[in-house]
Structure 1
Amino acid sequence: MAVNVPGLAAVVVFYIVILVIGIWASRKSKKVEKTCAGTKSEVAIVGGRNISVLVGVFTMTATWVGGGYILGTAEAVYSPSQGLIWAMGPPAYLTNFVLGGLFFAKPMRSKRYVTMLDPFQHRYGNMLTATLLLPALMSDILWVACILAALGGTMSVILGLSSALSIVISAGVSITYTFLGGFYSVAYTDIIQLSFIFVSLWLCIPFLLLSPAVADVSHTINLNQTIGTSWVGELKLEDAGKWADEMLLLALGGLAYQALYQRILSAASSAQAQVTCFAAAGSVFIMGIPSVIIGAVASTADWNQTAYGLPPPFERGEAGKILPLALQHLTPTWLSVLGIGSVAAAVMSSMDSVLLSSASMFTQNIYKTTLRKQASERELQWVIRISVLVVGLAGTGLAFGDDSVFGLWLVSGDLLYCVLFPQLICVLHCGFANSYGAFSGFTMGLLLRALSGEPLLGIPAVILYPGWREVDGVIVQFFPFRTLAMLASLTGVIAVSWLVQLGFYHKLIPQSWDLLGAFEEKTKGQEEEVPVPLEEKNNILNTKL
């Protein structure tokens, strides 16, 4: 395929504009560092906690409206085996933000945490916090791979550009401005990127619906004459477990992303953080509607009337590229270029957030508190930048060669849902949770998830749950195994924490056995006093001060 020179030129101009805005925002960040009461590293991580509601809504929405969201939703609606009912992104993300605003924004922002891992560090100490960083870091790397794979496939279709080259260039731009400006660069580029996504995708819709190759979508709900299925889809009883599992994964797993809390903690107050979450819930849902329409239109199109021809994309194994294919063959050329620009914008708006979130957690919760307690602010800023680079390169390396954006999208949140989400519930809302329970829950959730297998990563299933099937030589679980692992992890944290506390309270467990230091030693004259968790001690001291 020849390179689309005008389209490539347009994308290059767009990238330059984004890079310039990112560099401008990095200068603004330096000005804020001089006037902000917080440290320089806090300005890089949470923007000095003075981000307005409007900017907060833009950056929060843009983070979730990534390449995986746009392309994955269109892929699900288009795929004959799925359909609209399996396009879980819009309703799941709406639920995610509403729950975040109701139950997580206030307890996190009111205590002025810097990262999502801060409450764990305050209660459990450094060792367990470092352990919890691993699933969060792995999830972020997979998320980067997902959104870059989405962009690579789109550019190869519309611009005729090598997928690998597209991935490398896009990753380079995102890494550069995130490296330079931290949260300010991420937030202000998100405004431009989200605006461009909204305008370009909605502009494509009328041209898609009026294309001669597209049947009336409303008349093809019951039957798609081209590929013999409805774009609405069907949920069979035997698939209900898998559907519920994936829906809960997207709706609840997102509550364990540092990218979410980075925006919550950047708000000026707890109330503002909650408003940002609620507003983002509506905007992220609206941003998913164009992808749903594009997937439905593509499923009703007669591809034989286009240059693409037959067989249709699904039969060629190109369902993951259905959005760029629809834009290329069912809209004018100039609109398809706008479409690729929207995907590029979506990719960068998510990638920069993910890069900064991983870098923030490593710098704040590992390097600053464990490895180099005496590190200067300048040193911490460089650690953030180097971490951005490392995570970006790792995600870029995994982005090559994956065909299913929807699959990577799901896997990226797997560990967070199964392992980190129950931990976050307990550390924020369960006062007696301690490090023994946290470690037990972590182990149970991780073990159950690993034994359930993951075809996308080549991990075989050891536990075969009811309803499993073999599809193309690979075992696929139709039981809600992720949710089972999450509930087991949650139960483990609560049950073990309660039993251990009971053991110390009734002196069934000697104080000398407190190897993790979850309870402080009793002093003379306090023999009848219950051992006090370290977090409660810190809270009492802070109150007195």
Structure 2
Amino acid sequence: MALNVPGLIAVIIFYSITLATGLWAAWKAKKSEKNKTQTEIAIVGGRNLNIFVGLFTTTATWVGGAYINGIAEIVYLPSRGLAWVHAPLGFAATFIIGAVFFVKPMRSKNYVTMMDPLQETFGDTMGSILFIPSLLGDIFWFASILASLGATVSIILDVKGYLSIIISGCTVILYTLLGGLYSVAYTDVIQLLFMIVSLWVCVPFALLNSATENIAYTAVHELYQGPWIGKIQTEYIARWLDDLAYLSLGGIAWQTYFQRVLAASSSKQAMITSYLSGILCAVMGIPSILIGAVAASTDWNQTSYGLPTPNERSEWNMILPIVLQYLCPTIVSVAGLGAIAAAVMSSADSSLLSASSMFAYNIYKKLLRKRASDREVLCIMRLSMVLLGSAGMGLAFLSHSVYDLWFLSGELVYALLFPQLCCALFIPGTNAYGSAASFLFGFILRLLGGESSLKIPPALHYPGCILVDDVYVQLFPFKTFTMLVSLITLVVISYLAQLLFMKNILPMQWDVCNVFRKETSRAPQWELEEQVGLQQS
């Protein structure tokens, strides 16, 4: 297969447009804001994103390379099918649930990052510990989507994948470093528009290819590999619901989402943007569903791809670029590659900005160097972008294992961070003791459940744990169970600690987290004297 010169030229043009947009947005960030700090401009864009830009950049939070590739892959897989595609419904629910419950309390208090309410409620030290799963999730996410782009480029352009990883990573780092959220938001607009147009242009050509059977027929009839609509076996219903809950609720406790929410000019605009993003997110899944259906309805022996099929070659994870390459004209497949590149970059810049924002603002400024100037924090933020981006590019060469690690870290965010955020925003009286106990217990409980993708056998066999191809699979909804246990643990331990200290069952000297000593220091003098008297007696 020879180098695809037109495709290479098209990709270079797209990258140039993206970089130019990012640099223009960086210039705009410096020129348009006079009364905001540089850190606030970089992290939340001066809180003045209009609803159009806000809609596109919020949608791009989860509509990325893994989204459009993953949906097509699940639809194509004979063991899965459309019935197992959770992403459009799950992420749409994320935006809608976020708009109903989380947007107003976050935006109305003018928080800068998602970690602010956690540090405010549980203390700076505990907040820094809660930062770890979020950091790992962002780095592994950055790496996995760069890896997917590298594999796609190698299929369509016949160019070494590592070149695409390096060029894409450096481009994202450069414009994100210079313009912060402004660059990310405005490039998201370009990337999402390009994604919408390119994918919808590719779909008719794939559907009408002579090697493809009518997808309405193959949806319910077994032809090449079985009905692509799929089915949910009775014993897998709990697992299906668990995955849906994981995507719907687990997608909320991420800085990439709240970064857009906090950048809106008002709470009302943030809520409207989140609602509309949920709708657009679901719509963006339709082209990938159709492409996956086309792949399942194609006689590959009639194409230059030949036999064995992508499923038999274990190339199901690359089914979207394979369809674009072998079922669409060259020019159209190049446009599809641009869509994938756009999707990848829209996700990569979000994760990079997310991790660096929280590290610079919540870890460096609030914990390590509280007197740091605004300029110093901005420099640390830019330095962390380079370091984290470089680490992500290095990890991208591990490909599949990186994606599995991201999925596991995403589950940790769901099981550990989501309950913490709920308590910080909605349940008064929760404290650092409950937070620490919840984090530790939830982490251990999740690891005991095992992870089939990483070949980690479960030490704790929930009801319905079965052995499939020498790998244990948990059919019990253990991810949601772990999240609920973490939530209950946080509340119970917080109120238990409050009872023990405030009733003087435990001496105040044992309050190592300095939670209740602060409260007693604010109490009236007569109440303090009474407590001292009780302790002396």
Deviation at 1:409, TM superposition (A): 6.2
Q: 8 Å contact 1:68–1:409 — kept in the other structure?
A: no
Partner of 2:526: 525
Q: 8 Å contact 1:72–1:406 — kept in the other structure?
A: no
Partner of 1:326: 323
Q: 1:224 to 1:339 in 2, by over 3 A?
A: farther
Residues 431-485 of structure 1, C-alpha deviations (whole Å, 9 max, x = no match):
1111111111111111111122224345442222222233443333222221121
Q: Gapped runs of 5+ residues in structure 2?
A: 533-537
Distance in 2 separating the partners of 1:135 and 1:317: 31
Partner of 1:112: 110
Identity %: 50
Q: 1:336 to 1:434 in 2, by over 3 A?
A: same
Partner of 1:534: none
> Match for 2:175: what amino acid?
Y
Partner of 2:473: 476
Distance in 2 separating the partners of 1:351 and 1:74: 20
Map 1:275-354 onto structure 2 (within 5 A): 275-354=272-351
Deviation at 1:241, TM superposition (A): 2.5
Deviation at 1:171, TM superposition (A): 1.0
Map 1:147-162 onto structure 2 (within 5 A): 147-162=145-160
Residues 409-440 of structure 1, C-alpha deviations (whole Å, 9 max, x = no match):
64352111011001101100001111111111
Q: 1:400 to 1:468 in 2, by over 3 A?
A: farther
Partner of 1:415: 412
TM-score, normalised on structure 2? 0.95
> Match for 2:249: what amino acid?
L
Q: 8 Å contact 2:22–2:184 — kept in the other structure?
A: yes
Residues 353-379 of structure 1, C-alpha deviations (whole Å, 9 max, x = no match):
110010010011010112122222221
Partner of 2:193: 195
* DSSP-derived class of the 2:223 partner: coil
Map 1:113-262 onto structure 2 (within 5 A): 113-227=111-225, 229-262=226-259
Distance in 2 separating the partners of 1:412 and 1:125: 23
Q: 1:409 to 1:285 in 2, by over 3 A?
A: farther
Distance in 1 separating the partners of 2:363 and 2:223: 57
1:497 aligns with 2:498: no
Q: 1:472 to 1:394 in 2, by over 3 A?
A: farther
Distance in 2 separating the partners of 1:368 and 1:409: 27
Partner of 1:23: 23
Q: 1:290 to 1:127 in 2, by over 3 A?
A: same
Q: 8 Å contact 1:465–1:477 — kept in the other structure?
A: yes
1:369 aligns with 2:366: yes
* DSSP-derived class of the 2:285 partner: helix
Distance in 2 separating the partners of 1:271 and 1:136: 27
Deviation at 1:514, TM superposition (A): 1.4
Distance in 2 separating the partners of 1:403 and 1:224: 30
Q: 1:475 to 1:38 in 2, by over 3 A?
A: same
Residues 290-348 of structure 1, C-alpha deviations (whole Å, 9 max, x = no match):
00110011101111110011111011100000000001111111010000100000000
> Match for 1:6: what amino acid?
P
1:402 aligns with 2:399: yes
Distance in 2 separating the partners of 1:503 and 1:41: 41
* DSSP-derived class of the 1:223 partner: coil
- What CA RMSD, in Å, does the superposition of the two structures yield over aligned residues? 1.8
Q: 8 Å contact 2:213–2:297 — kept in the other structure?
A: yes
Q: 1:170 to 1:527 in 2, by over 3 A?
A: same
Q: 1:345 to 1:408 in 2, by over 3 A?
A: farther
Deviation at 1:62, TM superposition (A): 1.5
* DSSP-derived class of the 1:63 partner: coil
Distance in 1 separating the partners of 2:374 and 2:430: 33
1:54 aligns with 2:52: yes
Q: 8 Å contact 1:444–1:485 — kept in the other structure?
A: no
More deviation, 288-297/1-10? 1-10
Q: 1:530 to 1:130 in 2, by over 3 A?
A: farther
Q: 8 Å contact 2:401–2:454 — kept in the other structure?
A: no
Distance in 1 separating the partners of 2:76 and 2:21: 36
Distance in 2 separating the partners of 1:270 and 1:145: 33
* DSSP-derived class of the 2:472 partner: strand
Partner of 2:43: 45
1:387 aligns with 2:388: no
> Match for 2:474: what amino acid?
Q
Map 1:93-112 onto structure 2 (within 5 A): 93-112=91-110
Q: 8 Å contact 1:67–1:146 — kept in the other structure?
A: no
Distance in 1 separating the partners of 2:230 and 2:409: 25
Distance in 2 separating the partners of 1:399 and 1:468: 32
* DSSP-derived class of the 2:152 partner: helix
Distance in 1 separating the partners of 2:466 and 2:167: 40
Partner of 2:509: 512
Aligned length: 528
Residues 56-86 of structure 1, C-alpha deviations (whole Å, 9 max, x = no match):
1110111211111010111011101110011
1:91 aligns with 2:92: no
Deviation at 1:407, TM superposition (A): 5.0
